[in-house]
Structure 1
Amino acid sequence: MNPPVPLSRARPLWLRDARWELVVFGAFALLVLAAGLGLRDPWPSDEPRFALVAQWMVEHGQWLFPHRGHELYPDKPPVFMWLQALSYYLTHNWRIAFLLPSLLAALGALALVYDLARRLWNHRSALLAAATLLVTIHFTYQMRNAQIDPLLLGWMTLANYGLLRHLLLGPCWRWFAIGCFFAGVGVATKGVGVLALLMLVPYLVARRGHWRQLALPTGGWRWAGGLALFFVAILGWLLPMLLVARADGDPQHAEYVQNILFGQTVHRYATPTGHIHSPFYFLGIIVVDWLPLSLLLPWALPAWWRRLKRRDARFLLPLGWAALVLLFFSISPGKRDVYILPALPMVALALAPLLPGLLRRRGVRVAVFALTVLLAGTLAAASALAIHRHPAWALKIEQSLDPRIWWMLLATGVAGLAIAALTRVRRAPLGWLLFAGVLWSVYGVWGYPLLNGDRSARDVMVEARAIAGPQATIGLLAWKEQNLLMAQGPVAEFGFLRPWPQQYAEAVAWLQADPAQRWVFSLDEAMGACVDRARAVHVGHANRRDWWMFRHDAVIPGCIPRTAGDDDE
């Protein structure tokens, strides 16, 4: 395959210089993905958990065995939390540090999709592919969150990039080794990172069928050497953990090893306990969450089929890999929308050469224009109704959210309608691009400060400290990770996974030891009928829950609440 045209001579998309187009797109991507960075704390369901683990690592130096409070946290490998802790060392600001790995993963994925598409086709197609990925709702929303899946997407996209550089543009054994290594890093981040190596399956099909645009590397030992680096990356985390667990003889560490290697991988895939959905669940995710990319599929599917019939391996490898990922997760009864997120960059890559033609089609433009008007109009109409009519659904929402959120949504909707009126059907793709920029930047800069107090539990924890006073110790009962993370001043906790009645009994005994300087901060349901609410203090409402504080004089003697833990938000 011929080398890509240098950017200085590449045909630009809308400016006079392709290099300036990249600069403008990079700035726009940073705006869409980073707007609001530093303006909020971690939000449930997962963000406070990982930030709490990373904070423990920084404060206690325990890197191999993550902790949630004083309990071990065996649900996920520690790589994501390591990067959050490293980000804190670099920024000295947790509000930035907890989001930084996801932001870098998102920007990296965009850069990799662009570069690979440019090498396979051209600058114009590559830039449109990266832009399509950026403004796809599922990508933007998830990559603005501090969860493991955005980082996993980054590692798997890097692994796919390395493999495709070798399999389509090679032979290049260095890139093959890099791809295998970062597939292993993906496993150390979340076990399903191994799926990156499924790229070899459509490659073998293409090689056996003598497909076009395929590299034909030889050298069996090099294949084995590259795959060995996959295990090197995993052992970089696994081996020290196993050695330490074996050396210290701590039964908790042994249980942690058993859980992280088997309970959270094989068992979770084969016999999940939650998020049970039908085998067709992900089709709905693709249709709705992948907007506006999914609007292109009625036109893209026949075009892909024609290219596959012509045996073009540039389409078989990314599309075949995405199909295998979809199949793998569809087989398991447990499904979450983020599971197929890593397939999105490869679908955008396969769309790249089609986009210049697709975006000129009137049917595509009408569909994108209708999506912009529908979403913007819904935001404007619903928020205007909430402001002026106060329907029951709006009042229910306002129990947890700042009512000023309606003005933010109204402004966003009106801006979207104005953009649609200016760009019209003729420039509908540009209209969606601009609307996405407004939507996510307003959400970050305006929405984050409005929502943060409730979503992060910061407000109730500040109020709890005001009630207890600066010197008292607050014991957390039936707490969520955000409560410990946002706690002000001295606190104690009685375990996270332990049943609420056990936590309550220990909290009462703890209160008795120093009744003058101790308070208990508790979830309403966890107190049951064992606390006199006339002597307790209602702290506030956060994360759809009511929180109370009480001292020893509010405890009803001999009473143990018959309650159990609930799921996080």
Structure 2
Amino acid sequence: MIRCPPFPSEPRVRPSRLHAIASRFLLPALIVASLLAGLGLRQPSPPDEPRFVLAARQMVETGQWLLPHRGSELYAEKPPTFMWIQAATYRLLGDWEIAFLLPSLLAALLTLWLVWDLARRLWNRRVARYAVLGLFVCIQFGLMAKRAQIDMVLVGMTTLSLWALLRHLLLGPDWKLLALGAFAAGVGTVTKGVGFLPLLALLPWAAWRWRHPDTRGAGRGWGWWLVLPLFVAGTLVWLAPLGIALLRQSDPALQSYAQELLFKQTGTRYANAWHHHQPFWYYLEVIAAQWLPGSLLLPWLLPAWWRRLRRGDPRYVVLLGWALLVLLFFSASPGKREVYILPMLPALAVAAAPLLPGLLRRTGVRRALLAYVLVLAAVALMAGVGALHGDGWAQRYALKRAIDLAVVPRIGGWLLGFALAAGLLAALLRQRRAGLAVVSTTALLWMMYGLGAMPALDPYSSSSQVMERTRRHIGADAELGMIGWREQNLLQTRPQATDFGFKRPLDAQWRLAAHWVAADPARRWLFVLDDAMSACVDPARVVDIGSANRNHWRLLPGTALDTACVAAGQGHLPAAVAAPNDD
């Protein structure tokens, strides 16, 4: 195999026997167990999970897989790839509570393996283990691995593409891997529009080759002509069936769907975002807070990276150059969300891994990491004690979210247990093994989150409690319609309730609802957002059914609605009620 340069090796630090055993066997098992913890113990929670599962469930139930739906309307904010994966997982397993989370979990495990393999090939196995541990301990990675959002699957696809491209560029040439990288970037693009980002790695590599023209490696070759066609082939996983449908059908709704998704939700969303406006430096705040504890090491990593960049090491040039381009790309858009820069994190973990053995010998680094563990333990201790003893903050939060106060001590017990375990780890491992303390504490954090906190909050965050109360009130033979609804409410209805549009103006929803109710007013009920209530309803017959996710809901029998009043437009309704924005 031809390599670009004879790569310089990093200084080797001989590990202790305990550290070697833990890093080879115990820590990988602990990582997998902590990411698995809680699988199947909760239901989809807002803001994003319910809408994806709702669309996936409708695919399975209707057999209409090409175009995702949110209730009765087409869902045009995201391509259907992620929902296809969830629907296919359900068809395989037959259990939504596992199927909706499994794609993110598998994508996280795939990402960890790709990081390990890339670091192993660029350096050695020991560096590869540090790369995996460095990625795992960053808070945002673990959080997204345990959430059913597109972003973790996107990270899996972008990391696969980057893994293949870097093996070709730095360890090649290997034209099959170049083809795989281009194809994976295309599939990533129709999963979420920024899936093309791994191809930006060609720019820092080209700059390095320009400065080192005599270096042998992935240079000239006919295989470069594969990049664009195979990228396009990856996008055709979805664009081809969509194009065929557009050619065969003249439905205006389908045309509008394609136009919104291909133009408004891509180019317009990037260049002229209509929500999530943040300043240019916003992602520096995200890195500082959500990439803890990795961000604590930046004062040591940045100078070390700079020295290696000045030496012209192509591994650092490509990895860090690509990460910088991704950061600048997202920073240039006025619309920003913290998850957008997550694809950078695996590459930075690989770039940091060779330096970690040396950094962990520094007293300042060890103190910073141990302080992180102690602060986590202290915060959890204060929150847990407050929840167990009826602290005002905990009760106010529970009341604001319509959470049963009896649940608060249960969550407090989990927090207290985590705090005591993290404190014990810090006391046993102390400053000498601060890195091991961080990894173990992170694993405990995600076990507490998956096995304790999220299952306890699930009836309230998923709206299942409100919808169960609704089912009991109307009876098994009644039919339910929904106005001003949220995705989690519709998802929790079985069989699925009748809706009258999600983005449709409220007055139009009420007119459709009135027509639906008039067909059988004795059996039909309406589930209505409090802020969307019509003046054409008899207030004496409205049932206060409860709150969920900071929304208050009302239930009314069909006989309580004056359909003539609605038809005459006398309800004095707002045009719309704000709905949660898509990421």
Residue in 2 aligned with 1:565? 577
1:457 is aligned, of 460, 463, 482, to: 463
Q: Deviations over 1:200-241 (max 9, x none)?
A: 0000011011189x7522444210123321111112321221
Residue in 1 aligned with 2:433? 427
Structure 1: segments with no counterpart, 5+ residues: 5-9
Residue in 1 aligned with 2:454? 448
CA distance in 1, matches of 2:396, 2:357: 46
The question of whether the paired residues in 1 share the 8 Å contact of 2:158 and 2:195 is answered with yes
> Cα distance 1:25–1:372, how it changes in 2: closer, same or farther (>3 A)?
closer
CA distance in 2, matches of 1:542, 1:160: 41
Q: Deviation of residue 12 (structure 1)? A: 9.0
Give the match's secondary structure for 1:168. helix
**AA at the equivalent of 2:505:** P
The question of whether the paired residues in 1 share the 8 Å contact of 2:2 and 2:171 is answered with no
Residue in 2 aligned with 1:527? 533
Q: Deviation of residue 533 (structure 1)? A: 4.0
CA distance in 1, matches of 2:143, 2:363: 28
Q: Deviation of residue 183 (structure 1)? A: 0.6
- 1:554 pairs with 2:554: no
Give the match's secondary structure for 1:265. helix
Q: Deviation of residue 167 (structure 1)? A: 0.6
**AA at the equivalent of 1:505:** R
- How many residues align? The count is 563
Q: Deviation of residue 15 (structure 1)? A: 5.6
Residue in 2 aligned with 1:474? 480
> Cα distance 1:315–1:565, how it changes in 2: closer, same or farther (>3 A)?
same
1:495 is aligned, of 488, 495, 501, to: 501
CA distance in 1, matches of 2:2, 2:294: 29
Q: Which moved more, 1:15-24 or 1:35-44?
A: 15-24
1:56 is aligned, of 58, 69, 77, to: 58
Q: Deviation of residue 52 (structure 1)? A: 0.8
Give the match's secondary structure for 1:475. strand
Q: Deviation of residue 354 (structure 1)? A: 0.2
Q: Deviation of residue 55 (structure 1)? A: 0.8
Residue in 1 aligned with 2:269? 268
CA distance in 2, matches of 1:186, 1:389: 47
Residue in 2 aligned with 1:138? 140
CA distance in 2, matches of 1:490, 1:117: 48
Residue in 2 aligned with 1:236? 237
CA distance in 2, matches of 1:170, 1:490: 53
Give the match's secondary structure for 2:545. strand
The question of whether the paired residues in 1 share the 8 Å contact of 2:2 and 2:173 is answered with no
Q: Deviation of residue 113 (structure 1)? A: 0.6
Residue in 1 aligned with 2:309? 308
Q: Any residues of structure 2 matched to 1:36-115 within 5 Å, and which?
A: 36-115=38-117
What stretches of structure 1 move > 6 A for 4+ residues in a row? 1-4, 16-20
Q: Deviations over 1:494-546 (max 9, x none)?
A: 11111122212322332222111111111111115443443222212211111
Residue in 1 aligned with 2:9? none
Q: Alpha carbon RMSD of aligned pairs, Å?
A: 2.3
Q: Which moved more, 1:115-124 or 1:322-331?
A: 115-124
The question of whether the paired residues in 2 share the 8 Å contact of 1:12 and 1:124 is answered with no
Give the match's secondary structure for 1:539. strand
> Cα distance 1:109–1:91, how it changes in 2: closer, same or farther (>3 A)?
same
CA distance in 2, matches of 1:2, 1:22: 30
**TM-score (norm. length: structure 1):** 0.94
**AA at the equivalent of 2:237:** G
Residue in 1 aligned with 2:363? 362
Q: Deviation of residue 416 (structure 1)? A: 1.8
Residue in 2 aligned with 1:544? 550
> Cα distance 1:16–1:470, how it changes in 2: closer, same or farther (>3 A)?
same
Q: Which moved more, 1:490-499 or 1:36-45?
A: 490-499
The question of whether the paired residues in 1 share the 8 Å contact of 2:481 and 2:524 is answered with yes
CA distance in 2, matches of 1:323, 1:396: 39
Residue in 1 aligned with 2:32? 30
> Cα distance 1:379–1:529, how it changes in 2: closer, same or farther (>3 A)?
farther
Give the match's secondary structure for 1:277. coil
Q: Deviation of residue 11 (structure 1)? A: 10
- 1:181 pairs with 2:183: yes
